C-alpha cells in the first residue's frame, strides 16, 4: 500500500494553486487502449494442508481498454463513468514449482466513477490532468490450472469474483486542430482492486483467495467534447482611415453694421478657396445675411455688401469669378431666431457653399 499512497500524494501535491482550468464544458466521450502491467498479486490456496501459505500469482504483461462518458463543468473539473477491460496471461505460482497450463489468463472488467481536473499551462497544445476514481471490478480466472509434479495438489479454475476498487490518474490531452473538440489522450493509471476475492477449483485444492491486485496501466486514446466553443475570429486587418473630405460649407462672421473682413474671416475664406481645388464643384454660392437690428431695406443692402466682400476675397485667393454666385438675403433666414431689433452676432454672416 505504500506505493499506492505515494502515487496518490504526488498526484495532488502536483496541483498548482494558481493553475488555470481548461474549459471542457458539457458532455464528452472517450476511449483508449494500452499496456496492462499487473503487480503479481498474492494468493492463498484454501485446500487442506496448505493453511495460510501465501504465494504470488505470476502474470505476463497484458493489454487494457476503456470507454468513458463524462461531463465537464467549464472550470476545469469534470466527472465521468468509465468501463474498462484488462487481460494478462498466467505463467506460474511464484514460490512454487507448479507449472501453469497453456492458455490460462486473468481477465478483469468493471465500472469506475472518476473525478478529474484539467490544467491550462499556457499553451493550446497540451492540457495535463489528474484524477481519482472508485468503483467495482470483476476478476475471472480463465482456464487457470496448476498441477504439483508428482504430488496431490491440483488447481483448475474457470470462475470469477468481484471486489471494490479505486484508482489514481495522471495524464494529458492534446487537442487535434483539424477536428474541433477532438483530443488525443495519454495517461498513467494506478488501480488497487481490494483483496478477498475467492475462486473455486475443480482440482484437489479447495480454491484460492486473491489479495489486493495492484495494476499499472498506460492508456492511449482519444476524447471528443461535444460543446467545445469555436475559436475566436482572427483580428480584422487594420484599414487605413481615409483622410476627411474637404468641407463644403463655411461661415464668415462680421462685426455689427460692418461689411469689412477681419483677419479670421480672411483665414476662413482662404481655407474655402484652397479646398475648392480638391473637390469637384459646379458653382460656389456666397450668401450674405444680417441680424434684425436695422430696417429691412438697410439690412438687404448690408447683406449684399458682405457677400460681395467675401466673393472678392475668394477671387483674390484663386477662385474663378464665373464660378461664384452672390446673393444677399438681408435679415431673413436667421441662424439664431430672434425678434426685431436684436443684435445677434451669429446672424451677421456670409455662408460659402461649394456645390
Nearest to 172 by CA among 227, 130, 134: 130
Q: What three-state secondary structure class fits 351?
A: strand
Helix (H) or strand (E) holding 325: strand 324-328
Mean pLDDT for 143-169 is 83
pLDDT of residue 53: 61
Taking all residues of the chain, what is their mean pLDDT, rounded to a whole number? Answer: 83
Report the distance separating Cα 162 and Cα 58, nearest Å: 20
pLDDT of residue 31: 96
pLDDT tens, residue by residue, 8-40: 444 444 444 333 445 688 999 999 999 999 999
pLDDT tens, residue by residue, 83-96: 999 999 988 777 77
Which CA distances in Å does 118 have to 12, 23, 74, 171?
12, 8, 10, 9
Mean pLDDT for 47-63 is 74
Q: List % helix, strand, coil for the chain (3-state, nearest 5).
A: 15, 45, 40
Residue 87 in grid coordinates: 487481460
Report the distance separating Cα 206 and Cα 46, nearest Å: 5
Report the distance separating Cα 254 and Cα 19, nearest Å: 71
Mean pLDDT for 149-161 is 77
Mean pLDDT for 37-58 is 76
pLDDT of residue 1: 47
Confirm if 346 and 254 have CB atoms less than 8 A apart.
no
CA contacts within 13 A on the Cβ side of 262: 13
Report the distance separating Cα 7 and Cα 192, nearest Å: 11
Nearest to 287 by CA among 336, 345, 324, 328: 328
pLDDT of residue 228: 73
Mean pLDDT for 43-47 is 76
Residue 345 has pLDDT above 80, yes or no: yes
Mean pLDDT for 132-137 is 97
Residue 155 has pLDDT above 90, yes or no: no
Which position has the higher pLDDT, 178 or 243?
178
Find the range with the poorest average confidence among 48-52, 164-168, 295-299, 311-315: 48-52
Domains of the chain, start order: 2-225 (2.40.160.20), 249-354 (3.30.1330.60)
Report the distance separating Cα 350 and Cα 307, nearest Å: 6
pTM value is: 0.60
Strand 324-328 to strand 284-288: parallel, antiparallel, or no bridges (unpaired)? parallel
Which position has the higher pLDDT, 261 or 130?
130
Chain-centroid distance, C-alpha 241? 33
Residue 242 has pLDDT above 70, yes or no: no
Residue 99 has pLDDT above 70, yes or no: no
pLDDT tens, residue by residue, 285-324: 889 998 888 888 998 888 899 889 888 888 888 888 888 8
Residue 119 in grid coordinates: 490544467
pLDDT of residue 246: 59
Place of cell 495517461: 187
pLDDT of residue 51: 52
Query: Strand (E) positions, 248-290?
Result: 249-253, 284-288
Mean pLDDT for 236-247 is 67
Share of the chain above pLDDT 90, in %: 33
Which position has the higher pLDDT, 230 or 113?
113
pLDDT tens, residue by residue, 114-131: 999 999 888 889 999 999
Chain-centroid distance, C-alpha 51? 60
pLDDT of residue 103: 66
Find the range with the poorest average confidence among 126-140, 173-187, 275-289: 275-289
pLDDT of residue 285: 87
pLDDT of residue 247: 59
Residue 54 has pLDDT above 80, yes or no: no
Mean pLDDT for 270-298 is 83
Amino acid at each position: 500500500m505504500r506505493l499506492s499512497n505515494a502515487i496518490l500524494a504526488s498526484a495532488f501535491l502536483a496541483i498548482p494553486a494558481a493553475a488555470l482550468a481548461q474549459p471542457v464544458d458539457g458532455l464528452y466521450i472517450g476511449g483508449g487502449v494500452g499496456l496492462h502491467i499487473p503487480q503479481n498479486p498474492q494468493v492463498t490456496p484454501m485446500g487442506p494442508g496448505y493453511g495460510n501459505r501465501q504465494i504470488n500469482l505470476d502474470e505476463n504483461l497484458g493489454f487494457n481498454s476503456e470507454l468513458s462518458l463524462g461531463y465537464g463543468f467549464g472550470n476545469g473539473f469534470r466527472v465521468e463513468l468509465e468501463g474498462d477491460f484488462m487481460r494478462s496471461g498466467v505463467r506460474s505460482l511464484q514460490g512454487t514449482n507448479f507449472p501453469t497450463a497453456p492458455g490460462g489468463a486473468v481477465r478483469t472488467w468493471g465500472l469506475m466513477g472518476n473525478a478529474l481536473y484539467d490544467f491550462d499551462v499556457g499553451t493550446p497544445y497540451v492540457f495535463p490532468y489528474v484524477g481519482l476514481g472508485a468503483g467495482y471490478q470483476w476478476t475471472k480466472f480463465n482456464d487457470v490450472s496448476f498441477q504439483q509434479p508428482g504430488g496431490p495438489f491440483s488447481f483448475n479454475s474457470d470462475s470469477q469474483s468481484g471486489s471494490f476498487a479505486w484508482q489514481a490518474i495522471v495524464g494529458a490531452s492534446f487537442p487535434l486542430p483539424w477536428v474541433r473538440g477532438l483530443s488525443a489522450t495519454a495517461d498513467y493509471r494506478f488501480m488497487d482492486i481490494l483483496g478477498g476475492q475467492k475462486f473455486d477449483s475443480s482440482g484437489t485444492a479447495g480454491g484460492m483467495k486473491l489479495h489486493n491486485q495492484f495494476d499499472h496501466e498506460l492508456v492511449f486514446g482519444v476524447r471528443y467534447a461535444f460543446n467545445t466553443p469555436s475559436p475566436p475570429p482572427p483580428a480584422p486587418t487594420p484599414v487605413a482611415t481615409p483622410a476627411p473630405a474637404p468641407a463644403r460649407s463655411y461661415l464668415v462672421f462680421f462685426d455689427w453694421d460692418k461689411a469689412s473682413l477681419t483677419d479670421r474671416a480672411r483665414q476662413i475664406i482662404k481655407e474655402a478657396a484652397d479646398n475648392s481645388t480638391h473637390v469637384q464643384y459646379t458653382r460656389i454660392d456666397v450668401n450674405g445675411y444680417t441680424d434684425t437690428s436695422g430696417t429691412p431695406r438697410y439690412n438687404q443692402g448690408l447683406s449684399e455688401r458682405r457677400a460681395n466682400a467675401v466673393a472678392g476675397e475668394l477671387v483674390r485667393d484663386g477662385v474663378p469669378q464665373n464660378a461664384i454666385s452672390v446673393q444677399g438675403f438681408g435679415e431673413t433666414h436667421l441662424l439664431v431666431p430672434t425678434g426685431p431689433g436684436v443684435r445677434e452676432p451669429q446672424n451677421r454672416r456670409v455662408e460659402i457653399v461649394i456645390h
